[in-house]
Amino acid sequence: MTRYFSEDHEWIEVEGDLGTVGITDYAQGQLGDITFVEVPAEGASVSKGDSVSVVDSVKAASDVYTPVSGTIAAVNEALVDQPELVNTEAETGGWLFRVTLSDAAELGTLMDEAAYKSYVDSL
């Protein structure tokens, strides 16, 4: 599996044509304690850059943008009762949704882990 990152602090881990999307550990740290997560509807068509989810925290509500175009294949139902998973497992069990990619070439516009680390260090 290959993992990519966006400048909006989303990560996507891709296996075949399916990508699992969440927010980065850096992003959850900036938001503080997560109190609610709104996930997209399964089956929805999304375009790269669309706001598809909202993460509410004690500090603010933040939009989550899809890093690729495609169709929402699954959502993390565990977040309904345990939104804090985004804090404790941001880049593993706190994933938000899975998307079936419609254009794998869009992955080329994202950063690898080393580039994302440099990006965050520059903020």
Q: Tens digit of pLDDT for each residue in 51-86?
A: 999 999 999 999 999 999 999 999 999 999 999 999
Average pLDDT of the segment spanning 22-49 = 97
Q: What is the CATH number of the domain that holds 8?
A: 2.40.50.100
Of the chain, the percentage scoring pLDDT greater than 70 comes to 100
Smallest Cα–Cα separation from 31: which of 7, 63, 77?
Answer: 63
The 10s digit of each residue's pLDDT in 2-14 is 999 999 999 999 9
Q: Is the dihedral of CA 75, 81, 84, 85 positive or negative?
A: negative
What is the C-alpha to C-alpha distance for residues 82 and 104, in angstroms, rounded to an integer? Answer: 31
Residue 22 lies in domain: 2-100
Mean pLDDT across the chain? 97
47 in a structural domain: yes
Question: Is pLDDT at 1 greater than 90 in this prediction?
Answer: no
pTM, 2 dp: 0.96
Please give the tally of structural domains in the chain: 1
